[in-house]
Amino acid sequence: MLTIDEVANASPARRWPPLGKLLLALALLTVSLASSTLLVPLIVLIIGLALLAYSTAFRFPRLIMLAILDGLAVVAAGALIIAIVTPGAPMYVLPLGPWDIALTDAGIDRAALVLLRSFAGISVMLFFATSTPIPHLAHAMRSLRLPREISELVILVYRYTFLVLEQSERMFIAARCRLGTKGLKNSLRTFSRIAVGMFTRSIDAAERSQTALYCRDFRGDFPSYREPAPLNGIWMLLSLLSFLTLLLADRALSSVVVL
């Protein structure tokens, strides 16, 4: 079964400086959030998808893909609610039995902006996560002079979150093989047992991992024996130019729309 670590280690973008990738991702996210038009989030989404295609060829662990789709569904539902509750002139009416739900023009514009911003942010951050192995992430945090406790927590959460997801996927596969999801009653019983099993196994895995770290003389630091490429001026310039170019494009388009 493909794991997130295998995806990151097999990515051709793993050779890029982790701090450079982080700066680029933050620049794209910031300009997407600061934009007032649909053009900039759309461009950021295209850039994120292109980077993701180069990095992983859209090959993810199955459970990670399900989690991404679940997040996108939640964002889409939220955007629909925004389109309904935002005041404005009605553009579309959705008949739902005795009620008519109107989608306003201002609501549709705001919902589209939120939707594109969310999709763009997910694609960019997913590129960073799937192209940065854990040792590279630790090296980047040390380069930023972050406190050792913060970097330790971030890296452990980053690592063991995916392990928990992979464990839950195996449990769901075992449940389906035993017809544990056949029927509503069986599904509810299976989900409750899996939730309890995941809780107990997570505690057990945490205890065993802590013992293993202490046996390896763990002192709150994750050394990288093959240090990644260092941050250079090209990546800083690329991040700055990307931010300024997209920001100026957004301001120019906003002025054109106002005129």
Residue-wise pLDDT for 227-246, tens only, equals 777 888 898 999 999 999 99
Closest by Cα among 117, 112, 115, 110 to 86? 110
Closest by Cα among 103, 118, 126 to 73? 118
Q: What is the pTM of this model?
A: 0.74
35, 159 Cβ separation under 8 angstroms: no
What is the predicted pLDDT for the residue at 241? 93
19, 140 Cβ separation under 8 angstroms: yes
Assign 257 a pLDDT band (cuts: 50, 70, 90): low
60, 68 Cβ separation under 8 angstroms: yes
What is the predicted pLDDT for the residue at 237? 92
User: Partners of 102 in the beta sheet?
Assistant: 93
Mean pLDDT of the region 110-133: 87
What do you get for the CA distance between the two ends of the chain, in Å? 55
What is the predicted pLDDT for the residue at 101? 76
Residue-wise pLDDT for 180-226, tens only, equals 778 777 888 888 888 888 888 888 878 887 788 778 777 766 666 67
User: Partners of 103 in the beta sheet?
Assistant: 92
Mean pLDDT of the region 95-111: 78
What is the predicted pLDDT for the residue at 74? 85
> 153 or 42, which is more confident?
42
Assign 31 a pLDDT band (cuts: 50, 70, 90): very high
Residue-wise pLDDT for 7-17, tens only, equals 777 788 888 88
Distance of CA 12 to the CA centre of its chain: 19
- pLDDT of 258 strictly over 60: no
What is the predicted pLDDT for the residue at 29? 92
DSSP 46-87: HHHHHHHHHHHTT---HHHHHHHHHHHHHHHHHHHHHHHHS-
107, 195 Cβ separation under 8 angstroms: no
44, 53 Cβ separation under 8 angstroms: no
